[in-house]
Structure 1
Amino acid sequence: MSLQAYRRVQQVAESPRQTEYRLFAQVTGSLIRAKETEATGGALMEALDWNRRLWSTLSSDCSSADNALPKELRAQIISLALWVNRYTSDVMRSKGDIDALIDVNKAIMEGLAMQAQLAAQAGHQPIASQA
């Protein structure tokens, strides 16, 4: 199977939460690699920019009236996105530590994984026997 065909199947088979988790994992992995290799210059900026764009996209999506998430959750995501944007600038100027960005992303990933697990459990609950 070609790589393009695999990607199409993957996109069709994934739930939106799974897609979000996968993207967060890729971006967070990039941040972790930048930290572990003590990247500077272009390599560090690329990882930071990718993370900033992810959060900017989430913020834009949560700003949409068509977004189905609860209003309070959307506001919290937008608030986090604003913080990520400001803090990323600090990291770029060597006034902040990349660990905080990694920690926020990991927390979001844990929440997405927990939601997926709860959804899976809800879909596979045994049917109560009738007496």
Structure 2
Amino acid sequence: MSSAAATYARNSKTTASPREIEAQALLKAARQLQDVVENWRGPDSRLTSAILFNRKLWSIFMSDAISDDNPLAAEIRQNIANIGIFVMKQTVEIQTDPAPEKLKSLIDINCNIAAGLSGRA
């Protein structure tokens, strides 16, 4: 087997499901936010970057939740949208009045949903 074929075979076995990819993205956002908390130096580019990444991620989740072709039950889609609205409101609050303790709720939400997506909840 050629090197390229061997690499493809290895990667095709380790390709994550969409749920796992979503969980990994949520955990990445949580790690970025946690890093800001642990190394708080006031509002800086790390905070801006972490908040922006998390906001973009939740914008995608919210857009998908309200999409007519989303196969999830209406109640689940509504719950995702409601959490997304909370995340957006919390993000505005953090941007308006930055404080490390305000990031905890975003970190907890991301970690808890990631655990559920990965079947660890």
Give CA deviations for 1:14-54 in whole Å, capped at 9, x if unaligned.
11111111111111111110111104221101101110111
Cα separation, 2, equivalents of 1:11 and 1:19: 15
Cα separation, 2, equivalents of 1:43 and 1:72: 35
* TM-score (norm: length of structure 1): 0.75
Q: 1:33 aligns with which of 35, 40, 43?
A: 35
* TM-score (norm: length of structure 2): 0.81
Residues 34-53 of structure 1 aligned to structure 2 (within 5 Å): 34-39=36-41, 40-53=43-56
Q: Tell me the SS of whatever aligns to 2:64.
A: helix
| AA matched with 1:76 | N
Cα separation, 2, equivalents of 1:13 and 1:41: 35
Check 1:11–1:63 CA distance in 2 against 1; reply closer, same or farther (3 A cut). Answer: farther
Give CA deviations for 1:92-131 in whole Å, capped at 9, x if unaligned.
12266111111111111121122xx6xxxxxxxxxxxxxx
For 2:73, the equivalent position in structure 1 comes to 70
Higher relative contact order (CA 8 A, sep 6+): 2
For 1:15, the equivalent position in structure 2 comes to 17
Shift of 1:88: 0.5
Q: CA RMSD in A?
A: 2.5
- % identical aligned pairs: 29
**4+ long deviations beyond 2 Å:** 9-12
Q: 2:117 aligns with which of 109, 112, 116?
A: 112
Check 1:54–1:45 CA distance in 2 against 1; reply closer, same or farther (3 A cut). Answer: same
| AA matched with 1:34 | V
For 2:103, the equivalent position in structure 1 comes to 98
Gaps of 5+ in 2: none
Q: Which has the larger radius of gyration?
A: 1
Q: Tell me the SS of whatever aligns to 2:118.
A: helix
Cα separation, 2, equivalents of 1:24 and 1:95: 21
